[in-house]
């Protein structure tokens, strides 16, 4: 916790230290020596630090000694912690100096702070501190955040621990018995073999006499933080009303780091102002959720958890929610993490919209992306009232049993109408079918599978007219939140794959049209688009070779050479991916050769001849590398073509 905001260090400085230094025990006054272990990487540094802290207290003794040796001041380097005996060397009568004599320890109280932030094994540090306590009977206070400490003990050196745990499980023939998920087995093994947390408890028991918990009054502290926004009365009112949410989210984060909370509230100030400026009257519940989310994501990203990238690939609230409802554990620790995140921070807090990409992006990168902000806010505008959410979306983003019985019938009817009219995207239609076939088998809806299939087949045909090609089919289907997906999915999937391939062809045709149009007049655009989008797709399969020839023959000689080089480059890099276009490449070669017959040489003619030769070289690659895999009959047909 930081010094500024009423943290534990602040408590030490302003309360405990003053109290200790004002006390008299058996006629003795105590002085305190405070030392942060933050960033310390070896034990010797602790000795040095204590030494430096004490030299400042040792004035009187030191003065005497230095006068005897005719020295005026302590040289700088003494303060930088060279061991005292080395520095003072030998006393006048030739004995080594025992620097411990220089300060009597019986009137000192040592305070070690930030134990959890040292870079030395905690157990070593405790052992080291123990020396003081046992040998010198110095009174010692240790300040630390045990919650962060235990997380640190568990997560240090994880790869190594996992490797050893897996090795041991393998040796004990435990890896293949499937009673328990592997992840869990490894976790148990790690705890069993490396339970540092237990060592810590044991040592603590032996070493620490009394433990006091420092539990500051949070409403008081948060009040202090809120004072900073007094020039924004709306914000301060909103935050005051939601102090409870702030405190509970802060507690759920499991770290007591007020610094992060301050930053999070500062980020929220910006978010609150932007939302109020551009989208006044935003639903109150949404604002509350944004507050929770901003604090939660700040702690997740900044509290030294390894989660900075867990949210990077989640693009919006819908994807976030579909990860939550999809029951197939994709053995993806991201899914596991996100379910935990949601259960933790939104426990007992119901909200339709609980992932805000623009906030996640802002906290993670410090960039407030206006485009993301607008997209998110528009979606929120259209979906926040479940009433306005299309029925099929409810089915895909909520667990279906959350739809009340009296709404269920109308939700089903609305979805059926949408499917019949082809209003859903193609992939969503497939997902909805999985639900409907499940409902039908459970007797929740009155349609039999045959009727359903007919309706969905026709719906898919209509939907495909306005749908885009879906690239990540498996990932999308993984979002279906029903355990058993029926065998009747097979026909639907087959039909979907056929339609989806047609959509891919349509997409490539449009792309080819758009890109080839740039030859010969807009060549810069052609090169840029071709490099970005066409190197690894069989784009020439989708463009008429005659038209292509006309375009190429009108291009400048230099461009003809450049296009040829691009084609040669592609075939080296992606031979398998562009194989489907070879039929058209063969035709193009034929067209060029027919055109060249009987023409007098000019530079352009020579360039086109070389172009055709390069196409021959490209085609040659396939005769050798791919074709022999086919049976001979097809080969002979191919030769005739």
At 403-416, the pLDDT tens digits run 788 888 888 888 89
Is the pLDDT score of 5 beyond 80?
A: no
Judgement on whether residues 158 and 146 belong to the same structural domain of the protein:
no
**pLDDT given at position 242:** 87
Domain annotation covers residue 52: yes
Picking from 359, 365, 361, 317, the residue whose alpha carbon sits closest to that of residue 342 is 317
- pLDDT tens-digit readout, 462-485: 998 888 888 888 877 777 766 665
Judgement on whether residues 380 and 251 belong to the same structural domain of the protein:
yes
Judgement on whether residues 492 and 458 belong to the same structural domain of the protein:
yes
Judgement on whether residues 295 and 343 belong to the same structural domain of the protein:
yes
CA–CA dist 424, 415 (Å, integer) = 9
Among 505, 529, 552, residue at a domain's last position: 505
Contacts of 216 (CB under 8 A, 6+ apart): 6, 7, 11
Burial state string for 216-239 with b = 16 or more CB within 10 A and e = fewer than 16:
eebeebbeebbeebeeeeebbebb
Domain annotation covers residue 238: yes
Domain annotation covers residue 510: no
Q: Of 360-374, 433-447, 625-639, which one has max mean pLDDT? A: 360-374
Q: Which of 79-88, 298-307, 538-547 has the lowest mean pLDDT?
A: 79-88
CB 363 within 8 A of CB 297: yes
Is the pLDDT score of 182 beyond 90?
A: no
- pLDDT tens-digit readout, 280-294: 778 788 899 999 999
Judgement on whether residues 523 and 468 belong to the same structural domain of the protein:
no
Judgement on whether residues 348 and 421 belong to the same structural domain of the protein:
no
CA angle 63, 65, 66 (to 5 degrees): 65
DSSP 8-state symbol, 227: G
Domain annotation covers residue 210: no
Among 505, 540, 565, residue at a domain's last position: 505
Judgement on whether residues 385 and 479 belong to the same structural domain of the protein:
no
- pLDDT tens-digit readout, 63-97: 555 555 544 444 443 443 444 444 444 444 445 44
Mean pLDDT of 594-608: 91
Judgement on whether residues 243 and 379 belong to the same structural domain of the protein:
yes
Is the pLDDT score of 230 beyond 50?
A: yes
**pLDDT given at position 617:** 93
Task: For the chain, state the CA radius of gyration.
Answer: 36
| DSSP per residue, 553-567 | HHS-HHHHHHHHHHH
Instruction: Give the residue, 300 or 23, on which the prediction is more confident.
Output: 300
Pairing type for strands 28-29 and 139-142 reads unpaired
Is the pLDDT score of 625 beyond 70?
A: no
In the structure, what pLDDT confidence band is assigned to residue 125 with cuts at 50, 70 and 90? Answer: confident
Peptide linkage before 423 cis (omega within 30 of 0): no
Domain annotation covers residue 139: yes
**pLDDT given at position 636:** 46
Judgement on whether residues 27 and 108 belong to the same structural domain of the protein:
yes
Q: How many C-beta atoms lie closer than 10 Å to residue 509's C-beta?
A: 14
User: For residue 327, what is the enclosing H or E element?
Assistant: none
pTM of the model: 0.47
Q: How far is CA 256 from CA 144, 219, 299, in A?
A: 11, 14, 10
CB 559 within 8 A of CB 530: no
Domain annotation covers residue 527: yes
Domain annotation covers residue 213: no
Q: Is 531 exposed, middle or buried (0-12, 13-18, 19+ CB in 10 A)?
A: exposed
DSSP 8-state symbol, 470: P
- pLDDT tens-digit readout, 197-229: 667 777 777 777 788 877 667 667 777 788 888
Contacts of 437 (CB under 8 A, 6+ apart): 449, 452, 486, 488, 489
Cβ-defined contacts of 515-519 (< 8 Å, 24+): 515/539, 516/543, 516/547, 516/548, 516/551, 519/551, 519/552, 519/554, 519/555, 519/559, 519/563
**pLDDT given at position 82:** 42
Enclosing domain of residue 582: 518-640
Judgement on whether residues 340 and 485 belong to the same structural domain of the protein:
no
In the structure, what pLDDT confidence band is assigned to residue 564 with cuts at 50, 70 and 90? Answer: very high
User: For residue 241, what is the enclosing H or E element?
Assistant: helix 233-241
Is the pLDDT score of 177 beyond 80?
A: no
Judgement on whether residues 267 and 362 belong to the same structural domain of the protein:
yes
- pLDDT tens-digit readout, 8-58: 777 788 788 888 888 777 777 777 878 888 878 777 777 777 766 666 555
Share of the chain above pLDDT 90, in %: 22
Contacts of 423 (CB under 8 A, 6+ apart): 463
**Domain total in the chain:** 5
Is the pLDDT score of 137 beyond 60?
A: yes
Among 474, 505, 536, residue at a domain's last position: 505
**pLDDT given at position 527:** 92
CB 12 within 8 A of CB 143: yes
Judgement on whether residues 468 and 358 belong to the same structural domain of the protein:
no
Task: Name the average pLDDT for the chain.
Answer: 78
φ, ψ of residue 58 to 5 degrees: the values are -90, 10
Q: Of 86-100, 140-154, 514-528, which one has max mean pLDDT? A: 514-528
Domain annotation covers residue 209: no
């Amino acid at each position: 916790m930081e010094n500024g905001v009423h943290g534990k260090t602040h408590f030490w400085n302003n309360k405990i230290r003053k109290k200790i230094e004002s006390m008299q025990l058996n006629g003795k006054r105590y002085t305190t020596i405070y030392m942060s272990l933050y960033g310390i990487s070896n034990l010797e540094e602790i000795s040095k630090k204590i030494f430096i802290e004490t030299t400042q207290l040792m004035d009187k003794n030191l003065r005497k000694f230095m006068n005897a040796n005719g020295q005026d001041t302590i040289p700088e380097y003494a303060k930088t912690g060279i061991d005292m005996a080395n520095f003072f060397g030998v006393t006048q009568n030739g004995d080594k100096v025992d620097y411990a004599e220089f300060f009597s320890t019986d009137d000192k109280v040592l305070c070690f702070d930030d134990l959890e932030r040292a870079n030395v094994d905690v157990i070593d540090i405790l052992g080291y501190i123990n020396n003081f306590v046992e040998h010198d009977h110095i009174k010692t206070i240790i300040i630390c955040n045990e919650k962060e400490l235990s997380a640190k003990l568990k997560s240090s050196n994880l790869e190594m621990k996992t490797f050893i745990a897996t090795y041991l499980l393998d040796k004990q023939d435990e890896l293949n018995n499937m009673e328990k998920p592997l992840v869990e087995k490894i976790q148990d093994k790690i705890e069993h073999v490396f339970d540092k947390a237990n060592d810590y408890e044991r040592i603590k028991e032996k070493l620490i006499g009394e433990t006091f918990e420092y539990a500051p009054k949070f409403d008081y502290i948060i009040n202090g933080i809120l004072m900073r926004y007094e020039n924004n009365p709306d914000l301060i009112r909103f935050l005051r009303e939601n102090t409870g949410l702030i405190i509970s989210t802060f507690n759920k984060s499991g770290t007591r780091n007020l610094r992060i909370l301050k930053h999070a509230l500062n980020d929220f100030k910006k978010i609150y102002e932007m939302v109020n400026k551009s989208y006044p009257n935003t639903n109150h519940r949404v604002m509350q959720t944004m507050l929770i989310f901003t604090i939660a994501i700040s702690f997740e990203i900044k509290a030294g958890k390894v989660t900075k990238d867990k949210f990077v690939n989640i693009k919006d609230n819908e994807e976030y929610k579909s990860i939550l409802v999809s029951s197939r554990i994709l053995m993806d620790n991201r899914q596991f993490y996100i379910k935990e995140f949601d259960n933790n921070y939104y426990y007992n807090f119901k909200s339709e919209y609980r992932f805000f990409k623009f906030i996640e992006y802002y906290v993670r990168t410090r960039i407030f992306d206006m485009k993301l902000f607008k997209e998110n806010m528009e979606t929120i505008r259209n979906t926040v009232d479940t009433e306005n959410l299309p029925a099929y979306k409810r089915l895909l983003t909520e667990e279906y049993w959350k739809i009340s019985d009296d709404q269920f019938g109308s939700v089903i009817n609305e979805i059926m109408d949408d499917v019949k009219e082809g209003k859903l995207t193609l992939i969503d239609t497939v997902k909805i079918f999985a639900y409907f076939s499940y409902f039908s088998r459970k007797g929740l809806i009155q349609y039999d599978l045959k009727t359903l299939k007919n309706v969905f087949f026709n719906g898919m045909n209509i939907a495909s007219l306005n749908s885009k090609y879906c690239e990540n089919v498996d990932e999308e289907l993984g979002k279906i939140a029903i355990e058993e997906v029926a065998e009747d999915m097979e026909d639907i999937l087959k039909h979907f794959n056929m339609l989806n391939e047609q959509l891919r062809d349509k997409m490539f045709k449009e792309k080819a049209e758009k890109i080839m149009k740039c030859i010969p007049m807009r060549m810069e655009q052609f090169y840029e688009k071709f490099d970005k989008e066409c190197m690894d797709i069989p784009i020439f399969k989708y463009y008429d070779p005659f038209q292509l020839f006309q375009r190429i023959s009108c291009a400048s000689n230099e461009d003809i050479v450049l296009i040829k080089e691009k084609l040669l480059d592609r075939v080296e890099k992606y031979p398998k991916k562009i194989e489907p276009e070879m039929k058209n490449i063969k035709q193009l070669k034929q067209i060029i050769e027919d055109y060249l017959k009987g023409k007098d040489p000019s530079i352009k003619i020579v360039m086109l001849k070389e172009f055709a030769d390069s196409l021959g070289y490209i085609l040659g690659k396939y005769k050798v590398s791919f074709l022999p895999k086919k049976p001979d009959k097809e080969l002979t047909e191919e030769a005739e073509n």
